[in-house]
Amino acid sequence: MAGERITTRLTEPGLAEWLNDRTDRMMTGSLDIQARIELSMWRGALAGELRRIRLTLDQANCLADVMNGTIMDAALAGSAGMVFYNAADAFQLARETPFPGESSYGEKWGIDEKELLEYLQRLGPTADHALHDAITRWWHTHADATVEGWATVGLAVAPSATLDSEDDT
Q: How far is CA 40 from CA 33, 47, 56, 59, 91, in A?
A: 11, 11, 29, 29, 36
Q: Are residues 65 and 141 in the same domain?
A: yes
**Is 163 domain-assigned?**
yes
Q: Are residues 137 and 63 in the same domain?
A: yes
**Is 8 domain-assigned?**
no
Q: Are residues 39 and 81 in the same domain?
A: no
Q: Are residues 58 and 133 in the same domain?
A: yes
Helices marked H in the chain — which ranges? 15-26, 31-52, 57-67, 82-96, 105-109, 113-122, 125-140, 147-151, 160-168
* 79 pLDDT tier (thresholds 50, 70, 90): low
**Is 34 domain-assigned?**
yes
What's the average model confidence in pLDDT over 112-116?
Answer: 97
Question: pLDDT tens digits for 120-148?
Answer: 999 999 999 999 999 999 999 999 999 99
**Is 5 domain-assigned?**
no
**Is 81 domain-assigned?**
yes
Q: Are residues 97 and 26 in the same domain?
A: no
> Collapsing DSSP states into helix, strand and coil, what is residue 56?
strand
Count of domains observed in the chain: 2
* 60 pLDDT tier (thresholds 50, 70, 90): very high
Query: So what's the pLDDT on residue 164?
Result: 47
Q: Is the pLDDT of residue 102 over 70?
A: no
Q: Are residues 159 and 105 in the same domain?
A: yes
Q: Are residues 79 and 130 in the same domain?
A: yes
Domain that holds residue 30: 15-49
Query: So what's the pLDDT on residue 169?
Result: 42
